[in-house]
Amino acid sequence: MGSLPVFLVLLVFVAASGATWVAGVQLAKSTDEIDTRLGIGDALGGMVLLAVAGSLPELAVTISAAESGHLGLAAGNLIGGIATATMVLVVCDLFAARPLTYLVGSLLPVLEGLLVVLTVSVVLMGALLPASVAMPGHISPASLAIVVIWVGGVWVLNRTRSHPKWTVVMEGSKSGRPHRRVRHPAADPARAKHSMLHVSTVFGVSSAVTLLAGVALEVSGNELADRAGINGIVFGATVLALATALPEISSGIEAVRLGDHQLAIGDVFGGNAFQLCLFVVADLVAAKPVLPTAGAANGWLAGLSLALTAVYLGGVIVRPSRPKRLGPDSILVILIYVVGIVGLLRIAK
């Protein structure tokens, strides 16, 4: 791709972004339909399948970047992608009648956000480990710990959802469906009429297109970053992370439109927590621990992700009730994100 003109490389990147959007939306819908019919999310294996399906763009970028030796791009996309994905909640807030954290009506998103905090904390610790500290398969102990923490966190969340130990009353809240496997009466009723073979075919084709688009995003994105003289970590954490977050933006807006405010927040936090599990994949593909190569820029991004997550966790508890579409927590998140990106540009010089 290095021999192609800039405008053609840019065209490939834009086309891959569009394919990621379209295929990602269809993938999310078909995954929801499969989950509704089979209830696979009730089992831990089902939760893994659903999480992988939602993170296919990031998975494709991670494999492609690690295989080509662009470890900074891989780490930046995974770590910086959390901050970018959290900004999806700002977009969702714009489409809600009142601040999203006021409407959510549940403390389960707080547990999901705390799982993000735990996994990001392990990322920060793993980045400090020397590259010589590795397990069989060249896997960093921190990468494996992230997976263990995520699995344990999912088990706790399922247990808490099924057997709540407390009751919370949030007057004025409109949480919506507790889970996507509960069919929404206004959510594309035509999809329920399709055969299981049709739904499975859409799932398979969407998965393949998403993976191929993810590889195209990594290759074209890395070429654009090189030609523009942009640090790979900065590009991976911003432009590339935004491209891979397009399906989450679409599904988040749809969740708010359907009144599923709890799902809108829970999907973002749940996806962020699982995304870091992909460091195991990066280690295996690169044949060495990727976290120790993260550097100061990715450490900064991890801190930014923690800050943004903390603001929304506080918002769920405080419940800003101003009758405007953009809550004060979202406004604060925007300010923190802008400061964070400015700081990233200074660090990555």
For residue 1, being part of any structural domain is answered with no
- How far apart are alpha carbons 194 and 144 in whole angstroms? 39
CB environment 236-251: b (16+ within 10 A), e (fewer): bbbbbbbbbbbbbbbb
For residue 186, being part of any structural domain is answered with no
For residue 208, being part of any structural domain is answered with yes
The stretch 11-17 carries a mean pLDDT of 85
What is the number of residues in the chain?
349
For residue 40, being part of any structural domain is answered with yes
> Mean pLDDT: which of 46-60, 205-219, 331-345 is highest?
331-345
Show the domain range for 107: 6-179+195-347
C-alpha closest to that of 303 among 80, 77, 63: 80
For residue 185, being part of any structural domain is answered with no
For residue 92, being part of any structural domain is answered with yes
Is residue 38 scored above 80 in pLDDT? no
Residue 9 or 35, more confident = 9
For residue 107, being part of any structural domain is answered with yes
Task: Provide the CATH number for the domain around residue 129.
Answer: 1.20.1420.30
The stretch 335-340 carries a mean pLDDT of 94
Q: Considering its fold, how many domains does the chain have in total?
A: 1
For residue 78, being part of any structural domain is answered with yes
Q: What is the pLDDT of residues 94-148, one digit of tens each?
A: 888 888 888 888 888 899 899 999 999 999 998 888 878 878 878 989 999 999 9
108-128 and 141-162 helices cross at what angle (nearest 10)? 170
